[in-house]
Amino acid sequence: MSKIAILVDEMFEDSELRIPLDRLRAAGHQVDIVGKDAGAEVVGKQGKERIAVERAVRDVSEKHYDALVIPGGYSPDHLRTDRDAVRFTRAMATANKPVAAVCHAPWMLIEADVADGRTVTSWPSVRTDLVNAGARWIDRQVVVDGNIITSRRPDDLAAFSDAILHQLADGVPERARPRSETGAA
């Protein structure tokens, strides 16, 4: 089975951590909670979830994991200012490993400089940031562009989790080439 990192900090959206975590573990995958400081306890913005960080992001690399999941809430806003969190996100994406970001988490894709040229979705308030970073934003439950999986909100978590599990089982699909590369207008 695969080894997956969930990258999280304070004020994550509770269900956006819990549902993928439970689904991944139920499917037999090993999941590590990765954050700024190993041993720290982080709390969800709804106060329903508290979880201990198992590994500090400064101590992990893309060689340790098969996939990365980033919950939304305010957590991605905290993480995008952390050099190690950004480095890890970029390394996972450029190693062509699944990187799944829900709600506000696509901010990490922007900060890691991996949003340009990608088709993505997010919470609506992140749309302009993604477009300004060169991404194509569409309003869908889940968008898969190669190894990048994005989703909009807690209501989409079943489809988001399904997309992650599908990539872990079947591998990363080849990216469709942008129109400019295919010669279409």
| 10-59 tens-digit pLDDT | 999 999 999 999 999 999 999 999 999 999 999 999 999 999 999 999 99
Indicate if the pLDDT at residue 183 is higher than 50.
no
- Mean pLDDT score of the chain: 95
Q: Which of 31-45, 113-127, 135-149, 171-185 has the lowest mean pLDDT?
A: 171-185
pTM of the model: 0.94
Percentages helix, strand, coil for the chain (3-state, rounded to 5) are 40, 20, 40
Q: Within a 13 Å sphere around the CA of 92, how many CA atoms are in the beta-carbon half?
A: 31
Pick the CATH number of 3-182 from 2.70.180.20, 3.10.580.10, 3.40.50.880, 3.30.70.370: 3.40.50.880
Indicate if the pLDDT at residue 184 is higher than 60.
no
| Residues catalogued as catalytic | 103
Euclidean distance between CA atoms 146 and 98, whole angstroms: 8
